[in-house]
Amino acid sequence: MTSAAQLRQVCSGDLPALLALNNQHAAALSWLEPASFASLIEKACFARTSGDAEALLIALDQDAAYDNPNFAWLSARFERFVYIDRVVVAEHAQGRGLAGALYEMLKREAGAAGQMRLACEINLAPPNPGSVAFHRRLGFEQIGQATCPTASGWVTSLARCERLGPPHTLPLRNSDTTARIRNTTKQIHATLDAAPAMPLKPRNAAISAMTKKTMA
């Protein structure tokens, strides 16, 4: 099993190998170009790896400037949270407890920073029963479902969270913020419905612009 001592902060020299690891699992994680991957690492409140780029976990807190529909969904509902954007373990390193060790380290650091909620999403289409089982073992509970836009279309996701404190300490977004983000979601749906054949880059640019306006 992996110990915390074997986990370390991602450094610039890790980026090429970790990007390759990410893109080997792009169907589950989403493909990233070098610049966008480096930007994601910079935004992260937690970016850890192990060994020679054998695993990766990236998480962002509520203050990150992150154009992501799942992140926006959480922002509409919670004042504070840590969003687990992606976790991946190389095939040759699986079975050693790396993913669990990364989650435990994140849990400790998030708790020390005063965070009360870890959150992630799990795709229902296509289904990912292994991830559901893994997160259930770690104590994550379902908090909702949403259909979010991606570069390839729409993916229905199951959001799960683990509380790091008592329920009454978990602040919710106010109704005005929630209403603004729900309205943006409707605008995104309308944009895609009006132009179903829109090329991916213009479509994603439109989604990004609407998300930025809402979160400003």
Summarize pLDDT for 57-80 with one digit per residue, the tens.
999 999 999 999 889 989 999 999
Query: Residue 168's pLDDT is what?
Result: 42
Of 172 and 165, which is predicted with more confidence? 165
User: What percent of the chain stands above pLDDT 70?
Assistant: 70
Return the half-sphere exposure (C-beta side, CA atoms, 13 A cut-off) of residue 66.
27
- Written as six digits, the tokens of 14 are 């890790």
- Considering only residues 173 and 14, tell me which one the structure prediction assigns the higher pLDDT: 14
Q: Where does the pLDDT of residue 169 fall: very low under 50, low under 70, confident under 90, or very high at 90 and above?
A: very low
Give how far Cα 115 sits from Cα of 62, 63, 81, 104, 162, Å. 10, 12, 6, 14, 11
- Cα 190 from Cα 185, distance rounded (Å): 9
Q: Are 52 and 17 in contact (CB under 8 A)?
A: yes
- Please tell me the predicted confidence (pLDDT) of residue 191: 60
Q: What is the CATH number of the domain that holds 154?
A: 3.40.630.30
Q: Is the pLDDT confidence value at 91 over 90?
A: yes
Look up tokens 């132009």; give the residue: 195
pLDDT of the residue at 124:
82
Q: What is the pLDDT of residue 2?
A: 59
pTM for the whole thing?
Answer: 0.75
Using pLDDT thresholds of 50, 70 and 90, give the confidence band for residue 177.
low
Q: What's the mean pLDDT in 176-198?
A: 58
Calculate the average pLDDT of the chain.
81
* DSSP label of 122: E
pLDDT at 41: 97
pLDDT for the residue numbered 152: 56
Residue 215 has pLDDT above 50, yes or no: no
The arrangement of strands across the sheet holding 7-9 comes to 7-9, 46-50, 55-61, 82-89, 117-123, 153-163, 141-150
Is residue 118 exposed (0-12), middle (13-18) or buried (19+ Cβ within 10 Å)?
buried
Domain containing 196 equals 4-215
* Structural domains in the chain (count): 1
Which segments within 28-114 are labelled E, that is strand? 46-50, 55-61, 82-89
Rounded Cα distance between 116 and 26, Å, is 30
Does residue 83 surpass a pLDDT of 90?
A: yes
pLDDT-above-90 percentage for the chain: 50
